[in-house]
Chains A and B, each alone.
Chain A
Amino acid sequence: MGLEFTTSRAADAIAWARKFSLFSYPFVTACCGMEFMSTAAPKYDIARFGAEFPRFSPRQADLMLIVGTVTEKMGPILSRVYAQMCEPKWVIAFGVCACTGGFYQNYGTMPGCDQVIPVDVYIPGCPPRPEQVLDGLMLLQEKIQKHQSNYQLRVLSDAP
């Protein structure tokens, strides 16, 4: 006796498909990049979550990973790269610098990349261990499945 049919809302089925095929755009600026590489490499293997394929153009990506410190000078560039991504799109702030500026509380560093673009999941740590990154990715998948991400909230609130 196998499962012969199943029912679902179309939105849920689409969300399920989306959460297991995240195409990431790594916006790597600093040392957290090493931890990102480790996460992507076979030992931790981000491919198990369907997010193994980094795209080197934001136009082909739906998940932006901001990996490392963002400076004020980089702000307009970050905003532009985000605008170039097709919807639906999600953002993960990777490491404490991307989340809050970390220990760089000074003239040059942006206090968190959420000053410029909306962020879905914050992964703290300096740098975060690959396990934390995978945990963050799973949180994002959960948010996508529950229609809770920033992008979806905006679409819902824009609806009449």
Chain B
Amino acid sequence: MSQRILDRMKERFPDAVGDTHAQHGNETAFVARERIVEVLAFLRDDPELEMNYPSDLTCVDLLGLGDGLGELQREQQGAPQDDKPRFEVVYHLYSVTKKHRVRIKCRVPEDDPTIASVAHLYPSWNWFEREVWDMYGIRFVGHPDLRRIFLYEQFVGHPLRKDYPKEKRQPLIRREGMV
């Protein structure tokens, strides 16, 4: 049971699938950012895998987590610049028919926060991609309607990025005399 999905993915895409990890039936694979669309299309359409339920799409900001050092510590210790990509876009897939699941991760660098949209493969991920754009500022290339989904158009920045100040507010309206 364990590793079956990962093995099949590696067999089909030996060059696109990178590190993998499996524990207690929890299977994770890193996939090259450029190949994400074909890998997910394969997972959906392959009769043995049949990943027909897109359970989640989200993102992780790993700012300062690459080697466990913050910006300041790195400077003090003279440690080399963190060269790990800052973001990870995470896809969770489940198969209702086969009853198995897999987690796909894609590393996305800070200086080019883009990844191909998969909203055409799983229509419900349309809104998930808008959420990730809203909160983390990852641009999904090819998305049909990439607007903010929770926050307002006037909002500047992406609040779940680790460098967004925790209590910074961007009010739309205030009563007279209120700051």
Residues of A in contact with B (beta carbons under 8 Å apart): 72-73, 75-76, 79, 105-108, 110-111, 114-118
Complex CA distance for A115 and B176, rounded to whole angstroms: 9
B22 contacts partner chain A, Cβ-Cβ < 8 Å: no
Complex CA distance for A27 and B70, rounded to whole angstroms: 44
B174 contacts partner chain A, Cβ-Cβ < 8 Å: yes
**In the complex, how many angstroms separate the beta carbon of A134 from the nearest chain B beta carbon?**
28
Complex CA distance for A19 and B47, rounded to whole angstroms: 70
Chain B residues 147 to 179 lying within 8 A of chain A, measured CB to CB, are: 150-152, 159, 164, 166-175, 178
Inter-subunit contact A73/B152 (CB<8 Å): yes
Judged by DSSP, the binding face of B is loop
Inter-subunit contact A72/B172 (CB<8 Å): yes
> What 8 new A-B contacts, CB under 8 Å, besides A73-B150, A107-B151?
A72-B169, A73-B172, A75-B174, A79-B175, A106-B166, A107-B170, A111-B169, A116-B175
Inter-subunit contact A107/B169 (CB<8 Å): yes
Residues of A with C-beta under 8 A to B150: 73, 108
**In the complex, how many angstroms separate the beta carbon of A71 from the nearest chain B beta carbon?**
9
How many A-B pairs with Cβ below 8 Å? 47
Residues of B in contact with A (beta carbons under 8 Å apart): 150-152, 159, 164, 166-175, 178
Inter-subunit contact A105/B171 (CB<8 Å): no
Residues of B with C-beta under 8 A to A75: 171-174
Complex CA distance for A76 and B175, rounded to whole angstroms: 10
Complex CA distance for A107 and B152, rounded to whole angstroms: 12
The contact sample of 29 A-B pairs, CB cut-off 8 A, is: A72-B152, A72-B169, A72-B170, A72-B171, A73-B150, A73-B152, A73-B172, A76-B173, A79-B173, A105-B166, A106-B159, A106-B166, A106-B167, A107-B151, A107-B159, A107-B164, A107-B167, A107-B168, A107-B169, A108-B151, A114-B175, A114-B178, A115-B171, A115-B175, A116-B173, A116-B174, A116-B178, A117-B175, A118-B175
